[in-house]
C-alpha cells in the first residue's frame, strides 16, 4: 500500500516556523508514542540546532509501556531530553516542568553568569498534525496562565503564555509534516488515524494492520475477535466480519465495515496498548 500526502502550504509553514524558532530557547517536539519516528519530521533537527530539545512521547496511554521505555532510551542516547505523556492529563504536567528545567539548565546557568536573573525559558511546541499539540497547550497552560502579550523586539502579534515563573510558551504551535520517503511511514500514520480517511483505502489499510499485529502482537486479534490468527490477513478480515456481524443487505459480508471497526478499535486502544514501530537496529 502506498500513501502519498503532501499539503501545498508546507513551505510557508516551514518558513514561519524558522522565524519563530529564532525567538525561543527550547523546542518541545511532540511525537506519537505508537510510532515515534514516523510521526516526526527529521528536518527539525537541522532547523532547531543550537536549541535545547525535548521530545514528548505523546499518547503514551495508547502505546506499549515497555516499548516506550526503549524509545525513551533511544532518544536520550541521541542527546534529547525525553518525557512520555498523555497530553489530556493535567497530572502529567509536573514531570514535564521538571524536564523542561533540566533541558534548559545550561541556558539558565549561562544567563546567571552574565548577571541575567529570572529570565524565563521560552519554549515552542512543534509536531505533525493530530499529534496532540493543541491538547498539550490547553492542558499544560490551563486557565491559570496569563498571556504576556507582545514584547519589545519580538515580532508583532506573537503571544506568549506564562506557564510559571520559569517558562513561557509560544501560543501557536509549529506544524511540520511527516516524511514519506519510506512507504511504511504512510501506513503507520494511516493506522493511527493521522491521514485523512478520504484518501485511504480502508480495507487495504486494515489488512496492513492485521499483518503488523500478527507479527508484533500475536494473540491480540484472536483474543478480541475470536479469529484464527494463523490465517492470512484477508481471511482474518472475513472472520472479523463474521464474528462482529458486519453484514450488508442480502446477507453478504461487509468487509468495509469490518475494516473500519478494526481500525477504530485499534485507534481507541480497545486492542490494548500497542506500539507499531520499534527502533531500527542500525539507528
- Interacting residues with ligand G4P (CB under 6 A): 58-59, 61-62, 86-88, 127, 129-135
Nearest to 123 by CA among 171, 168, 66: 168
Residue 86 CB, nearest approach to ligand G4P (Å): 4
Minimum distance, C-beta of residue 25 to ligand G4P, in the bound complex (Å):
22
Contact present, 5 and 195 (Cβ < 8 Å): yes
Rounded least distance, CB 233 to ligand G4P, Å: 26
3-state secondary structure the chain: CCCCCCCCCHHHHHHHHHHHHCCCCEEEEEEECCCCCCCCCCHHHHHCCCCEEEEEEECHHHCCHHHHHHHHHHHHHCCCEEEECCCCCHHHHHHHHHHHHHHCHHHHHHHHHCCCCCCCEEEEEEECCCCCHHHHHHHHHCCCCEECCCCCCCCCCCCEEEEECCEEEECCCEECCCCCCCHHHHHHHHHHCCCCHHHCCHHHHHHHHHHHHHHHCCCHHHHHHCCCCCCCHHHHHHHHHHHCCCECCCCCECHHHHHHHHHHHHHCCCCCCCCCCCCCCCC
Closer Cβ to ligand G4P, 189 or 237, answer by number: 189
Residue nearest to ligand G4P (CB): 132
| Least Å from the CB of residue 140 to ligand G4P | 11
Query: Which residue(s) pair with 8 in the sheet?
Result: none
Nearer to ligand G4P, 107 or 273 (CB): 273
**How many Cβ atoms from other residues are within 10 Å of residue 207's Cβ?**
20
CB of 132 to ligand G4P, least distance (A): 3
What is the spatial distance between Cα 42 and Cα 238, in angstroms, rounded to a whole number?
A: 39
Nearer to ligand G4P, 127 or 178 (CB): 127
- Least Å distance, CB 18 to ligand G4P, is 19
Q: How far is the CB of 154 from ligand G4P (least distance, A)?
A: 23
The answer to whether the beta carbons of residues 35 and 127 sit under 8 Å apart is no
Please say which residue, 32 or 236, places its beta carbon nearer to ligand G4P: 32
CB nearer to ligand G4P: pick between 28 and 131: 131
Q: How far is the CB of 270 from ligand G4P (least distance, A)?
A: 12
- Give whichever of 119 and 273 is closer to ligand G4P, judged by the CB atom: 273
Nearer to ligand G4P (CB atom), residue 139 or residue 214: 139
Q: Which is nearer to ligand G4P, 125 or 227 (CB)?
A: 125
Amino acid at each position: 500500500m502506498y500513501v502519498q500526502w503532501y499539503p501545498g502550504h508546507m513551505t510557508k509553514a516551514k518558513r514561519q516556523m524558522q522565524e519563530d524558532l529564532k525567538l525561543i530557547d527550547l523546542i518541545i517536539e511532540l511525537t506519537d508514542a505508537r510510532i515515534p519516528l514516523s510521526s516526526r519530521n527529521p528536518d527539525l533537527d537541522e532547523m532547531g540546532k543550537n536549541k535545547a530539545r525535548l521530545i514528548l512521547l505523546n499518547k503514551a496511554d495508547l502505546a506499549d509501556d515497555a516499548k516506550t521505555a526503549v524509545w525513551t532510551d533511544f532518544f536520550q542516547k541521541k542527546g534529547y531530553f525525553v518525557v512520555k505523556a498523555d497530553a489530556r492529563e493535567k497530572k502529567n504536567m509536573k514531570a514535564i516542568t521538571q524536564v523542561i528545567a533540566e533541558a534548559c539548565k545550561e541556558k539558565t546557568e549561562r544567563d546567571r553568569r552574565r548577571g541575567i536573573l529570572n529570565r524565563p525559558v521560552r519554549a515552542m511546541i512543534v509536531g505533525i498534525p493530530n499529534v496532540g499539540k493543541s491538547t498539550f497547550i490547553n492542558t499544560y497552560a490551563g486557565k491559570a496562565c496569563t498571556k504576556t502579550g507582545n514584547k519589545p523586539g519580538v515580532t508583532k502579534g506573537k503571544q506568549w503564555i506564562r506557564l510559571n515563573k520559569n517558562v513561557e510558551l509560544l501560543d501557536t504551535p509549529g506544524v511540520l509534516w511527516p516524511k514519506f520517503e519510506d512507504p511504511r511511514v504512510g501506513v503507520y500514520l494511516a493506522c493511527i488515524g493521522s491521514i485523512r480517511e478520504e484518501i485511504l483505502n480502508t480495507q487495504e489499510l486494515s489488512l496492513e494492520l492485521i499483518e503488523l499485529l500478527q507479527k508484533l502482537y500475536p494473540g491480540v486479534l484472536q483474543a478480541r475477535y475470536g479469529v484464527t490468527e494463523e490465517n492470512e490477513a484477508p481471511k482474518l478480515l472475513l472472520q472479523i466480519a463474521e464474528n462482529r456481524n458486519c453484514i450488508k443487505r442480502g446477507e453478504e459480508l461487509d468487509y468495509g465495515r469490518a475494516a473500519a471497526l478494526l481500525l477504530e478499535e485499534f485507534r481507541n486502544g480497545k486492542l490494548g496498548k500497542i506500539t507499531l514501530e520499534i527502533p531500527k537496529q542500525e539507528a
